[in-house]
Structures are given as C-alpha cells and as structure tokens.
Amino acid sequence: MSVQEKSAAGKGAIAGAAGGDTIAAVSSGRGGAVAVIRLSGPAAGDVVLALAGRVPEPRRAVLARLRHPDSGEPLDQGLVLWFPAPRSATGEDMAELQIHGGRAVVAAVLGAVLAVPGTRPAQAGEFTRRAFLNGRMDLTEAEGLADLIGAETQAQRRLAFSHAFGHLGQRVEDWRHRLVRAMALVEAGIDFADEDDVPAEARALARPEVEALQRELAQALGDRRGAMVREGALIAIAGLPNAGKSSLINALAARDVAIVSDEPGTTRDLLEVSLDLDGHKVMLVDTAGLREAEGKVEAEGIRRARARIAEADLVLWVHDVAAGPAPDEAPEMEAPAELWLVGNKLDRGAGGESVAGRWAGRSFAVSARSGEGLDVLTRALGGFVTDRTAGGEHPALIRERHRASAAEASAHLGAALAGWEELDDALLAEELRLAARALGRMTGAIGVDDLLDVVFREFCIGK
Ligand SMILES: Nc1nc2c(ncn2[C@@H]2O[C@H](COP(=O)(O)OP(=O)(O)OP(=O)(O)O)[C@@H](O)[C@H]2O)c(=O)[nH]1
Ligand SMILES: [K+]
Ligand SMILES: [Mg+2]
C-alpha cells in the first residue's frame, strides 16, 4: 500500500506551511475506558501501516490489531481511522487510533507510534496551530475552540460554539472586505490624479461605507456581553464592617471561602469566587468593610476594595438590618454600574421594613446565617446576568485581543473621517489600510506570527 508522502497544505494557507514532522499525542482525557491517539503529518500513514499492517479507506473506522513495529508484539486491538490530506482537521495527513484507555496500553501504543521515524510528541495546541497555518480555520475560530473546550457554563459553551465555528471571523472578514473596497475607491483617485473629478467622486462614494463601518465598530466595542459571558459578570459585595459580607459570599458559594468573625475589619484582601448562576458564570468578590481604616493593612484592603467595586458590573451593598435603617445612599462609593441593597441578618428580628427611595425595586432581605431570602437573591442575580448577556446578535468581540484590534481599526477610521476633505489620497488610503490591517490581525489573515504562541499556548496537548 502506498502512502501519500507529501504534507499537502490546504488551499489558502496563510502564514506558511507547518513543520514537516509528524506529531502524535493522546487526545482523550485521563482515565477513560477508551483513549484516542491522534497523529498529524506526512508520516501518519506510515505509522498506521507500521502498527496496523494496512492503511484503511479514508474516514472509515476499521478494527485492527496494533503491533510494535520493531518487535511485532501485539499491543492492543482498536479502531483505526485514516484522514488523508487535505480533508482533515489539520489539513495534513492524519490518523486516529482508538485504543483501550489503560495507562500501560496507552504508553505502549504511543511508544510504538513514536518509534516510527519522523514522528515526535505534539506540543500543546499544535494540532490546532497546524490547522490554522494550513488555512483550515482562522485565529478567532481557534480561540473559540479553546474556549469551547474550557467552557464551564452553558452560556460560555454557546458563545464559544458560535465563535469556534466562524461567527466572529465572518463578521470581521466582512468588515475588512468592505474597508478594502472603500480603500480601492480612494486609491482610484491616486491613479486618476490628472482627471479632476474622478478623485472627488471616488472619495465621495467611499465615505458612507467608512462611516457605516465606524458605527458598527463603535457598537461592537460598546457591547460588553462577550466579555461578561467569557470572564463572568463581576459582582462585588461591599458594605460597612461586620455587615456580613463574608458570611454572604460563603452562603452564596455554599462553601467556607471567607473568614467570618465578629471582629470588624476581618476581611482585608479581595477574595473572588466563581459561580455558575443559571448557566452563567459570575465572579463574586468579597471586600474589606468600608470605614476609616485603623492601620496600614486595613487601609490597603479598603483601597483594593474601592478599586474592585469601581470595576464591578453589580455591587451588592450589604447592610446589617439589626444596626438600624438602611442608608439612603451607599456611602463612600464612586457611582457603581449597578447597585443593590442586601439587608442582612433578617434572623435578628428587624428588617423587612419598607425600603423606599433609591433602593426601590433593588433591595433584598436575607439572612446569611439561616439562608432565608437567599433563593430570591440568587434568582435575581441570575436574572441580572441573563438580561445583560442575552438578546440580539451574538457579540462580535469577545477577548481583549479582539477589542484592542477593533479599537485600533476604529482609531484609524476616525482619523480618516476627520481628515476626509483635507488629507491627500495617499494619506487617506494609508489610514484605511492601517484599519484593515488591524482587522486582519483579528482573524489572523495578516501578520500574526507574534501572536501564535500566545493563542495556542492555551490549548492542552492533543488539541
Ligand atoms: N445573626 C446573624 N449574624 C450574622 C449574619 N451574617 C453574619 N453574621 C455575623 O456577623 C458578624 C460579621 O460577619 P462577617 O461575615 O465577618 O462580616 P463582614 O461584613 O465580612 O465583616 P468585615 O470583613 O470585618 O468587614 C459575624 O459574627 C457573623 O457571624 C446573619 O445573617 N445573622
Ligand atoms: K467581621
Ligand atoms: Mg469580611
């Protein structure tokens, strides 16, 4: 049986071909009954031939006895799959061995694979990296895949799925193509510089498109839903010392994460817990009680508390209902994005008094100790995150990297629009080109060699 020797790069390969060696790794999780060994590269077919004695038909699972290529010792019996280039996940020749998941079996078969010349163990993310280099996916799809594998909540899974299968990439490529068309119009002016009205007309045609793009970018940049789903909504628990903030975070997390004591000023450092609320990830942060600090350490704790409160999507102001009526205002805070009152220690009798004024509709009565009222608060928190993340189109920008590229593109479009009448054709075209380049970096269509290590480092070995 002859095995295709060359590593066929998929059409549209972007940033140069992948390495000529063949990589192998266990791609399944630990401890399963079945393990999957994946191979990619020109020697993948040789490996299958050497271990299984034949190369099956493409994309058909066949049962085969796997032997060590040198000793001929049978190692296991399993399913073998052969995916010749370029119709494979990486765009190279690939093979998959589905074997028994025992540690010794996996070690023996992987050892046999690596005994075939031209093979070596894969590094983390190397399969996906090859898929990107061979034009099988863009960079945003690779990032989406990493997020899909890492998704902890259903909302994260849904976002990552649309991201992994091209949603963001298509949107960005659409922006970029429109921008390139506008740029071509402006550049047409350069070519026809002798004929007076051509440049002016071409420019006038390009402008509405650039304005529309600028609006769409601004809208995408203003949309925080992607970050909120991916990183989790940040919910800060704030209040006076001893209000029961740490007790509340423990109750919501159903774990003893924070130290509770009757001593005011117990919490100093920020303490963060990630929770799955109704399928949404939230980051709850316990903070130091806000008051005139009694020492350097407490003062630093309060400084950190204020900084985190200022970043929060929602602040829960915890108030000890036994200590008197709720404050009209949450004292000593910069205006947070959203502020709710949580009257705590309901078990101590007081509370339940009507809360009017600024807290109307945003106040809750709970007992962190008895658990009373926590279900209502939890549901409201879930509703808050759902409201803030659901609805409309999928968010366009998800990672900081995407936001940075979009902001860079937007800055160049802004400069182009500001100088639309005065800039000469070459300078105007240059602003548009720089904007298109920033967008191209988002999908990896342009100049991303420096980014690859960062993007692919997130993957596990075998992906
Ligand atoms: N009766 C009652 N006591 C509570 C409740 N929640 C907290 N406490 C008590 O209030 C005291 C202070 O609780 P903490 O959770 O440490 O309060 P904190 O707001 O984190 O305090 P600092 O970190 O010092 O700012 C402790 O003695 C708790 O046991 C509650 O719902 N009912
Ligand atoms: K305390
Ligand atoms: Mg505390």
Does the beta carbon of 265 lie inside 6 Å of ligand 1?
A: yes
Residues 237 and 318 in one domain: yes
Q: State the pLDDT at residue 332.
A: 60
DSSP, collapsed to helix, strand or coil, labels residue 27 as: coil
**Residue 244 annotated in ligand binding:** yes
Each residue of 407-459: pLDDT tens digit?
Answer: 999 999 999 999 999 988 889 999 999 999 999 999 888 766 766 777 777 77
- Do the domain assignments include residue 75? yes
**Residue 38 annotated in ligand binding:** yes
Best of 237, 242, 249, 374 for a ligand 1 pocket test (most atoms within 8 Å of beta carbon): 242
Each residue of 271-285: pLDDT tens digit?
Answer: 999 999 888 899 999
Does the beta carbon of 319 lie inside 6 Å of ligand 1?
A: no
Residues 263 and 333 in one domain: yes
Does the beta carbon of 88 lie inside 6 Å of ligand 1?
A: no
CA distance 56 to 123: 27
Which span out of 119-128, 222-231, 449-458 was modeled with the highest average pLDDT? 119-128
* pLDDT(330) > 70: no
Peptide bond just before 264 cis, omega within 30 deg? no
Structural domains of the chain, count: 3
Name the nearest CA neighbour of 389 among 277, 263, 267.
277
The residue contributing the CA closest to ligand 1 atom 14 is: 244
Each residue of 58-67: pLDDT tens digit?
Answer: 999 999 999 9
**Residue 195 annotated in ligand binding:** no
Q: State the pLDDT at residue 404.
A: 93
Higher-confidence position of 386 and 195: 386
Checking ipTM against 0.90, whether it exceeds it is yes
- Do the domain assignments include residue 46? yes
Phi/psi for 146 (5° steps) reads -60, -40
Find the largest Cα–Cα distance for the chain. 87
Residues 65 and 88 in one domain: yes
Residues 287 and 357 in one domain: yes
**Residue 136 annotated in ligand binding:** yes
Q: State the pLDDT at residue 8.
A: 33
Q: State the pLDDT at residue 334.
A: 67
Q: State the pLDDT at residue 9.
A: 32
Whole-prediction pTM: 0.77
Does the beta carbon of 241 lie inside 6 Å of ligand 1?
A: yes
Q: Residue 351 maps to which CATH number?
A: 3.40.50.300
CA of 326 to the centre of ligand 3 (A): 19
Neighbours of 275 (CB within 10 A): 20
Does the beta carbon of 214 lie inside 6 Å of ligand 1?
A: no
Q: What is the mean pLDDT of residues 334-355?
A: 78
Each residue of 5-30: pLDDT tens digit?
Answer: 333 333 233 333 445 899 999 999 87
The angle subtended at Cα 397 by Cα 187 and Cα 159, nearest 5°, is 140
CA of 411 to the centre of ligand 2 (A): 48
**Which residues, including other chains, have CB under 8 Å from residue 411's CB and lie 6 or more apart?**
none
Does the beta carbon of 156 lie inside 6 Å of ligand 1?
A: no
Question: Considering only 313-322, 337-346, 349-358, which range has the smallest mean pLDDT?
Answer: 349-358
By the 10 Å C-beta count (0-12 exposed, 13-18 middle, 19+ buried), 104 is classed as: exposed
Neighbours of 134 (CB within 10 A): 28
Sorting pLDDT into bands at 50, 70 and 90, what band is 296? Answer: very high
Q: Residue 173 maps to which CATH number?
A: 1.20.120.430
**Range of the structural domain that residue 112 is part of:** 22-138
CA of 240 to the centre of ligand 2 (A): 10
CA distance 197 to 54: 70
Q: State the pLDDT at residue 17.
A: 43
Best of 247, 252, 347, 372 for a ligand 1 pocket test (most atoms within 8 Å of beta carbon): 247
Q: What is the mean pLDDT of residues 212-236?
A: 92
Percentage of the residues of the chain whose pLDDT score is greater than 70? 89
